[in-house]
Chain A
């Protein structure tokens, strides 16, 4: 008898430990299935070149999505990341071209521009009390307007070759630097969410802001930090994107926020807050990238890609909600 209870409690312990991982498992399963399918369907798919190419392409979306995941966990949303990425990218490039800043400093500078936009978002949400949707919708417009103003709506060229490194370079015999950057940001994000106060408080605030406040958590401060991080990662992602085309493009990232939010949601983040993981978001980002890449390889019309991605979002969220309802009902 002790034996069975032991076994059962081990089972429930495992279930509790990985209950969030299960939703990622589904997304991971889908990712794996698509991967296998494409390996057979297209000879061009399973080549180092193509896979590294996917890695680099995904870097921008995935880096930004990690920041947005953090925001979504607090029951917020950041719609401004596409505009902020373009604004930061162009400003970073202008720092090099017009002010002669060394490339590494300009990358930090571009990231700081994004962080500043995030600070404004954070202030509007945490202190001015605006709904996150509205606050960041405003920033979406403001940042896009600013980038056109500063760049006269013209692409900014004239960066040195060393700027290509971030978005196009390779190390260790062919591993793309953007992929390495993405994995590094992902690892940091994972540690922040699972091991730090910032991560824990984000989940707590997203789950129940009033309970968090009454537990003595400085809710406003942490909310602000979360939006700053999202802005900074959008800025950093903007710099990667600029490096990939070796120029500052004011038109970059229109509609990017939708891909980013899709990646987070496919990976199990809940728009109601309290749920979401870095691993899930990365899986979501790669799933979208594979669908895009596969569509190109198989010659599927670009418009159908959009349809497929939309359907994937529906399925992912539906399955996740269904699973959670069952879990809640069975453990009563």
Chain B
């Protein structure tokens, strides 16, 4: 592939491995990065992408193997050393000090000036020069905390320019950006590469990979599967490389009988985030929520569930009007919400599997927990959902993502919920567990529950859903029936190119 490029590589990784206790996160990886290229590292969650980047930026020390930057062997001495060699990292969660100014952040650790004093004027001038290069028209004295997420990301990129980076690593940079901001980011990336800098870009969003990359390295289970020039790839091939098998069986669509309307939502509004949103879900039906990041899908689910307040709108379950002011009201009525942020908002990580399963429906009388009953419930769900844990008392903290997700599902099944709102259920779990999770969702639909499935990944929706509701800027842009599913149609609605019917 890149045999004749040894001399010109900016970065060469030679048989690099990283072992954590019990896990080989990165397994003898060889990787060449050329100046001026956008090199995407693609792979499922847990494939080792992020660890690989940490090795390159010297956040982690390799267990074995060597890294060369500009043809010279690199000794491990920490992130600062990596920066001085010209390796800059744009973190997914920005490493910025929110209460300091833009200029102070840009030169943190290498302030212009002498003897411990900071030359403020030089700092300001340099800062403004850098800001112009990333197309950011903000005053360098403003505080970071007053900037938007997209602006903060530009500051991170400007930081990379400040150290004159040869390689800029970007870890899923578009995850929190709106479509227009993504376009601008890609413009900046092209500007960087046209100046001979290499961009190492981590992503699992297929559309982006084809839009921006020159070459793609696919990782799976810590190993590099292949490195290919982008034009030699198509989506099917890329997915096959990423997951290691055919994709069709990833989404076992259930043959569920669709019954009466279970959940009716009318005219939900919340500020400018949600505007007059209505939909219904039938028994046995899987209704997908599609839309761009920030379109209001999660907000809509949370408003229905009572996790956030709503300004207007009503919710009916089986024709009965509900008064939902807090999550407990929704739970009592038979609605469950599985959050997209499993660790941050779905699980009590320090509690056991059993205690998490019963969290929303504790078997208790007069305030005393029936521990025997609790244990029985947990055992039953563990067997039913095939939760792999050595013991039901094991803290959920140490379970795999897929098993954690099953614990969350078990919790909601215990509440006897008739309607389940799944928010990105496949996020952060490995491929096998994904198929199992979708199989489980299908089973739940078969049992006559109504399912809402929120996903940012269209193949998930297209394969699993009976209908897909597409949101755009807080509104329901349209609802598409299974017969008319197509990615183009959904994207057109999601981006506002096509008006609702």
User: Using a CB–CB distance below 8 Å, which chain A residues touch chain B?
Assistant: 8-9, 12-13, 16-17, 19, 195-198, 200, 203-204, 206-208, 210-218, 274-275, 327-332
Of all chain B residues, the one with the shortest Cβ separation from A274 is B350
Most chain B CB within 10 A, of A17, A198, A216, A275, is at A216
For the complex, give the distance between the alpha carbons of A201 and B23 in Å: 34
Decide: A211 and B359 in contact? CB cutoff 8 A. Answer: yes
Let me know if B391 is at the binding interface, CB within 8 A: yes
Of all chain B residues, the one with the shortest Cβ separation from A272 is B350
For the complex, give the distance between the alpha carbons of A274 and B352 in Å: 11
Partner of A211 from B330, B347, B391 at Cβ < 8 Å? B347
Decide: B398 and A328 in contact? CB cutoff 8 A. Answer: yes
Decide: A16 and B394 in contact? CB cutoff 8 A. Answer: yes
Identify which of residues 340-363 in chain B touch chain A, using a CB-to-CB cut-off of 8 Å.
344-352, 355, 359-360, 362
Decide: A208 and B348 in contact? CB cutoff 8 A. Answer: yes
Shortest distance between the CB of A321 and any CB in chain B (Å): 14
Shortest distance between the CB of B305 and any CB in chain A (Å): 8
For the complex, give the distance between the alpha carbons of A287 and B469 in Å: 62
Query: How many of B's residues come within 8 Å of A, CB to CB?
Result: 41
Decide: B327 and A207 in contact? CB cutoff 8 A. Answer: no
Given contacts A200-B355, A215-B360, A330-B22, contact A208 B345 (CB under 8 A): yes
Decide: B21 and A329 in contact? CB cutoff 8 A. Answer: yes
The residues of B that contact A9 with a CB separation of less than 8 Å are 390-391
For the complex, give the distance between the alpha carbons of A17 and B352 in Å: 9
Shortest distance between the CB of A210 and any CB in chain B (Å): 4
Partner of A208 from B22, B23, B347, B395 at Cβ < 8 Å? B347
Decide: A17 and B349 in contact? CB cutoff 8 A. Answer: no
For the complex, give the distance between the alpha carbons of A16 and B354 in Å: 11
The residues of B that contact A330 with a CB separation of less than 8 Å are 21-22
Let me know if B368 is at the binding interface, CB within 8 A: yes
Decide: B367 and A197 in contact? CB cutoff 8 A. Answer: yes
The residues of B that contact A19 with a CB separation of less than 8 Å are 395
Decide: A200 and B20 in contact? CB cutoff 8 A. Answer: no
Residue-wise interface mask of B (393-419) relative to A, using a CB-CB cutoff of 8 A (1 in contact, 0 not): 111011000000000000100010000
Shortest distance between the CB of A147 and any CB in chain B (Å): 33
Of all chain B residues, the one with the shortest Cβ separation from A203 is B351
For the complex, give the distance between the alpha carbons of A274 and B347 in Å: 12
Partner of B345 from A195, A200, A210 at Cβ < 8 Å? A210
Closest 3 CB pairs of A and B: A207-B348, A216-B328, A274-B350
Given contacts A12-B394, A196-B367, A203-B348, contact A217 B21 (CB under 8 A): no
Give me 27 A-to-B residue pairs in the complex whose CB atoms sit less than 8 angstroms apart, sorted by A's number: A9-B390, A9-B391, A16-B352, A16-B391, A16-B393, A197-B367, A198-B367, A200-B369, A204-B348, A204-B355, A207-B350, A211-B345, A211-B359, A213-B307, A214-B305, A214-B307, A215-B327, A215-B360, A216-B332, A216-B360, A217-B328, A217-B359, A275-B350, A329-B21, A329-B22, A330-B22, A332-B20
Partner of B362 from A197, A211, A214, A274 at Cβ < 8 Å? A197
Partner of B350 from A8, A12, A203, A214 at Cβ < 8 Å? A203
Let me know if B95 is at the binding interface, CB within 8 A: no
Shortest distance between the CB of A307 and any CB in chain B (Å): 32
Decide: B348 and A211 in contact? CB cutoff 8 A. Answer: yes
For the complex, give the distance between the alpha carbons of A212 and B351 in Å: 12
The residues of B that contact A196 with a CB separation of less than 8 Å are 364, 367-369
Partner of A17 from B21, B369, B393 at Cβ < 8 Å? B393
Shortest distance between the CB of A322 and any CB in chain B (Å): 14
Shortest distance between the CB of A187 and any CB in chain B (Å): 15
Let me know if B42 is at the binding interface, CB within 8 A: no
For the complex, give the distance between the alpha carbons of A218 and B360 in Å: 11
Decide: B369 and A331 in contact? CB cutoff 8 A. Answer: no
For the complex, give the distance between the alpha carbons of A216 and B331 in Å: 7
Let me know if B339 is at the binding interface, CB within 8 A: yes
Of all chain B residues, the one with the shortest Cβ separation from A207 is B348
Decide: A213 and B327 in contact? CB cutoff 8 A. Answer: yes
Residue-wise interface mask of B (367-379) relative to A, using a CB-CB cutoff of 8 A (1 in contact, 0 not): 1110100000000
Decide: B347 and A12 in contact? CB cutoff 8 A. Answer: no
For the complex, give the distance between the alpha carbons of A208 and B395 in Å: 13
Decide: B351 and A207 in contact? CB cutoff 8 A. Answer: yes
Given contacts A207-B350, A216-B360, A330-B22, contact A12 B345 (CB under 8 A): no
Shortest distance between the CB of B104 and any CB in chain A (Å): 26
The residues of B that contact A218 with a CB separation of less than 8 Å are 328
Shortest distance between the CB of A10 and any CB in chain B (Å): 9
Shortest distance between the CB of A24 and any CB in chain B (Å): 16
Decide: B369 and A12 in contact? CB cutoff 8 A. Answer: no
Decide: A214 and B339 in contact? CB cutoff 8 A. Answer: yes
Of all chain A residues, the one with the shortest Cβ separation from B328 is A216
Of all chain A residues, the one with the shortest Cβ separation from B346 is A211
Shortest distance between the CB of B59 and any CB in chain A (Å): 18
The residues of A that contact B367 with a CB separation of less than 8 Å are 196-198
Shortest distance between the CB of A151 and any CB in chain B (Å): 38
The residues of B that contact A17 with a CB separation of less than 8 Å are 391, 393
Decide: B337 and A214 in contact? CB cutoff 8 A. Answer: yes
Most chain B CB within 10 A, of A204, A215, A216, A218, is at A215
For the complex, give the distance between the alpha carbons of A228 and B326 in Å: 24
Decide: B359 and A212 in contact? CB cutoff 8 A. Answer: yes
Decide: B369 and A13 in contact? CB cutoff 8 A. Answer: no
The residues of A that contact B364 with a CB separation of less than 8 Å are 196-197
The residues of B that contact A12 with a CB separation of less than 8 Å are 390-391, 394
The residues of B that contact A331 with a CB separation of less than 8 Å are 394, 398
The residues of B that contact A8 with a CB separation of less than 8 Å are 390
Of all chain B residues, the one with the shortest Cβ separation from A15 is B391
Decide: B327 and A216 in contact? CB cutoff 8 A. Answer: yes
For the complex, give the distance between the alpha carbons of A312 and B271 in Å: 54
